[in-house]
Chain A
Amino acid sequence: MARVLLFGRLSDVAGWRERIIDPAPASLFALRDLIGAEDPALAEALGAKGVQAAVDRVIVRGDAPLGAGAEVAFMPPMSGG
């Protein structure tokens, strides 16, 4: 199981903010491809410049393995405070 969180305009594009994916894919990229496969607009938004991913609240660059119960967040460029 993985918990997926979308922030900023990503949740507007997808129409959801939080989802449980069960069973969880083995990697971050596999998860991204899975949620993008059913929503081309979201796939494009996730691939846009400046979108970052965090696994268990740690920013990761590139792919990363997903452990059981991973929390995965996709974050568009931050607005700042």
Chain B
Amino acid sequence: MIRLQQDPFEPGALLTGFSAGRSETGAVVSFTGLARASGGGVERLVLEAYPGFTEAQIGRIAEAARARFSLQDLMIVHRVGEIAPGEAIVFVATAAVHRREAFEAADHLMDYLKSQAPFWKKERGPDGERWIEPTARDISDAARWEQERGEAP
């Protein structure tokens, strides 16, 4: 399930719902990303998406992870609009028979969401606004999955 939403969400409630009724699942892993104040320099994050297109692109990222890690299920909830420091901005959960696949799939999903998902992010602070682009770290985090795959026997 992939969902973009303006309203804040409660990660614990999402995890409870995702974990319920899974008699054939051995592992559920979840990740929650929070908006940071960055030492007071950020009062609001403003996230813009392209409705329809953004969900479709995230769907492609999700399908790649689902196939690669033999996931039983996954959930991605992402905020759009204005987000205050301390609020959850993204929630990812994965379900698999064994924990390794669930851990790695969540890590993989986040690396691709951070570097390739079609969002445009602006930080608003006391000194004005600035647009954010993926950091070198975000790009290299995603690239390591390509390398691991390339080096596999």
Using CB atoms and an 8 Å cutoff, list the residues of chain A in contact with chain B: 5, 7-9, 54, 57, 73, 75-81
Contacts and interface: CB of A to CB of B under 8 A. Distances in A.
Interface in B130-153: 131-134, 138
Given A7-B48, A8-B48, A79 B53 contact: no
A81 B53 CA distance: 14
Nearest to A52: B118
B78 to A, nearest CB: 6
Interface in B104-129: 113-122
B59 to A, nearest CB: 12
A79 B131 contact: yes
B52 interface: yes
Given A7-B48, A8-B131, A9-B131, A80 B116 contact: yes
Nearest to B33: A81
Contact of A78 (B33, B116, B122): B116
Given A77-B133, A79-B132, A57 B53 contact: yes
B1 interface: no
Interface residues of B, number: 25
Interface of B: 33, 47-48, 50, 52-53, 56, 78, 89-90, 113-122, 131-134, 138
Main secondary structure of the interface of A (DSSP, over half): loop
Contacts of B122: 8
Given A7-B50, A57-B53, A57-B56, A81 B78 contact: yes
Given A80-B117, A80-B119, 4 more contacts: A8-B120, A8-B122, A76-B120, A79-B119
Nearest to B61: A81
A27 to B, nearest CB: 21
10 contacts: A7-B50, A54-B53, A73-B53, A76-B131, A79-B47, A79-B133, A80-B117, A80-B134, A80-B138, A81-B117
A54 B52 CA distance: 12
Contacts of A54: 50, 53
